[in-house]
Amino acid sequence: MRVILLAPPGAGKGTQGERIASRYDVPHISSGDLFRQEVASGSELGNELRRYVESGDLVPDNLVVQLIADRVIEAAAESGGYVLDGFPRTLPQAEAAAEIAKTTNATAQAALHLDAPREVLIKRLAGRGENRADDSEDVVRHRLEVYDASTKPLIDYYASRGILMHVDASLSMDDVSKEIFRVLDPIRDSEPEG
C-alpha cells in the first residue's frame, strides 16, 4: 500500500497515518516527526529547521526533499509501500516525490484528503495539550493559512492523476479510520500477490 496523506493541521494525519501503516504493514513516514527529531538533535540542519517549525511556516522544498527522499526510497524497497504524512506539501515537492517514485517503481496508489471545518481544526489543535511550539493559537491560524496557500493546490494535482480520495476528518478518530479503510481496502485487494 502506497498512500499520501493530505490534510490541514488538526485533521488527524498522525493518528490516521499510524493506523494505515499498521493495517497494511508499511512504514509511516511523518515529515513533522522527522523535523522535530532533527531539531532536537541540535544538528546544523535541525537548527535551520527550527525557525520554520516554530513559526508554522513551510520548510523549504529542498530541505524537505533532502530529509525525506532516502526514507521513501528505503521504505519502498523494503516493504513495497509507505504512508507519507506531511510530504509532499507543495507542488514542487509532489513533483520531486513523483520522480522518486518512478525510480523506485513505487508510485502512490492513493492520495487521501482528510478535511474538516476550520473551527474543528482550531479547537483540536488548541486542545492538544502537548505544549508544542507550533500549537499556540496564532501559530495554528498561521499554519492553516499556509496550508491553504501551499498545500491545497495538491488536491487538484492528485485529482488530475486519478488517485485523490476525500475523507471527512471531522468524524471521530475511529469513524475516520473506518472510512479510510473502506476506500483503501479495495486498492489493497486489487493488487496481485507477490
Which residues are known to be catalytic? 13, 89, 128, 132, 143
Q: Is the dihedral of CA 62, 91, 139, 131 positive or negative?
A: negative
CA separation for the pair 78, 2 (Å, rounded):
13
Cis preceding-peptide flag for 117 (omega within 30 of 0): no
Residue 188 cell numbers, joined: 489493497
Look-up of cell digits 491560524: 141
Residue 91 cell numbers, joined: 507542488
Contact 44, 100 (CB under 8 A): no
Name, in order, each residue with C-beta under 8 angstroms of 170's C-beta and a sequence gap of 6 or more.
116, 117, 120
Query: Partners of 166 in the beta sheet?
Result: 113
